[in-house]
Amino acid sequence: MFARVVRYNIDPERCDEALEAFEKAAKAIGEISGITGGYVMVDGDEGRIVTVTLWEDRAKMEASEVRASRLRQEALRSVEGDIESVERLRIAVGIGTDA
């Protein structure tokens, strides 16, 4: 299993608006072949959002890159946010799971 972790900087006053945009993007990403789940996490006080998407394998994660990137950009454009980083990681040990 693999994960893509993306960190965003958002104006703290626009975090609620950003979460609405990310919810729309999450629904679209959830329809991509190979995704097994994910999370959108927020620290509204600091204007930080982190998304984690989980993928069956590296090939399916990589195949989703263009569409996922476009969806991220659309969500950010609406709130004038920035992408801080994008990481792609192999899940090595599961906590409370069979991973």
The string of pLDDT tens digits covering residues 85-94 is 999 999 999 8
Q: What is the pLDDT of residue 31?
A: 93
Other beta carbons less than 10 A from residue 2's beta carbon: 19
Q: Is the pLDDT at 8 greater than 80, yes or no?
A: yes
23-71 pLDDT tens trace: 999 999 999 999 999 999 999 999 999 999 999 999 999 999 999 999 9
41-53 pLDDT tens trace: 999 999 999 999 9
Other beta carbons less than 10 A from residue 8's beta carbon: 22
Whole-number Å distance between alpha carbons of 64 and 8: 19
Q: What is the pLDDT of residue 78?
A: 84
CATH of domain 2-90: 3.30.70.100
Q: What is the domain partition of the chain in residue ranges?
A: 2-90
Give this prediction's pTM: 0.89
